[in-house]
Amino acid sequence: MVLGGGFGGLSAAQALRHAPVRVPLIDRHNYHLFQPLLYQVATASLSPADVASPIRWVLRRQKNVEVLLADVRAIDPVRRVVVLDQGPAKVPSEGPADENTIAFDYLILATGATHSYFGHDDWATAAPGLKTLDDALKMRQRILLAFEAAERATGAGEQRRLLTFVIVGGGPTGVELAGALAEIARRSLRHDFRRIRPESARIVLLEGSPHLLGAFPEPLRRAA
């Protein structure tokens, strides 16, 4: 059994394509998300459909995989079952199961990652993360509405505040998001407003370490 339909979960399921096993794959969403391009959804460069593909379609030719849409609430390692949010979704098995559990012989956990506020969870309302499609759509709305609000603002100071975007984290996502924001401000939206100059938007990228793209080779860090 595989929990998660991201890169890890799909790779695990596909690696078992020729094995004489049944592979239930469970995910809370019915689509596989190409997470590295979420920043382009957040900046209105791509639509959600461009970065999300139905898991069933991706695995349509793999006969030993069964895709189930469910939220796993608990894992019982003694009984070797996972507990789902709602049923019925039973997969026939020799192990004990009821309508809200699925038995497994081997379990692969590939449930992905979430963003961290490093102990400051109260920041979540002011600073959304960028790990899910919902995150990207909310960020897109906030970015575009900031330009709209600046168009209506009467004071130069308020316009400057609304057109200042602060990104925390100088890893790949932060750097890509900063670049995409600059692109839409200087190109995509440049001629769409009458009272403001979108290209004057201020983009601030904050990074706690000495370098951007800290995990990358030195030439790429310098270029960034």
Question: Domain coordinates of the chain in residue numbers?
Answer: 2-109, 121-223
pLDDT of residue 98: 55
Provide the pLDDT for residue 99.
Answer: 63
Residue range 73-109, pLDDT digits in tens: 999 999 999 999 875 444 444 444 456 899 999 999 9
Split at pLDDT 50, 70, 90, the class of 155 is very high
Percentage of the residues of the chain whose pLDDT score is greater than 70: 94
Give the Å distances, CA to CA, from 189 to 91, 143, 153, 174, 206.
51, 12, 17, 21, 24
What are the pLDDT digits (tens) for 173-195?
A: 999 999 999 999 999 999 999 99
Please report the pLDDT score of residue 94 as a whole number. 44
Per-residue confidence (pLDDT) for residue 92, from 0 to 100: 45
Q: What is the mean pLDDT of residues 15-21?
A: 96
The pair phi, psi for residue 182, each rounded to 5°, is -60, -40
Q: Cα separations (Å) of 43 from 39, 91, 158?
A: 6, 41, 22
Provide the mean pLDDT of the chain. 91
Residues forming the active site = 176
pLDDT attached to residue 115: 80
Residue 67's beta-bridge partner residues? 25
Structure-block tokens of residue 126: 């002011």
Q: Is the pLDDT of residue 32 over 90?
A: yes
For position 87, what pLDDT does the model report? Answer: 54
Structure confidence at residue 89 (pLDDT)? 45
CATH number of 2-109: 3.50.50.60
| pLDDT for 86 | 72
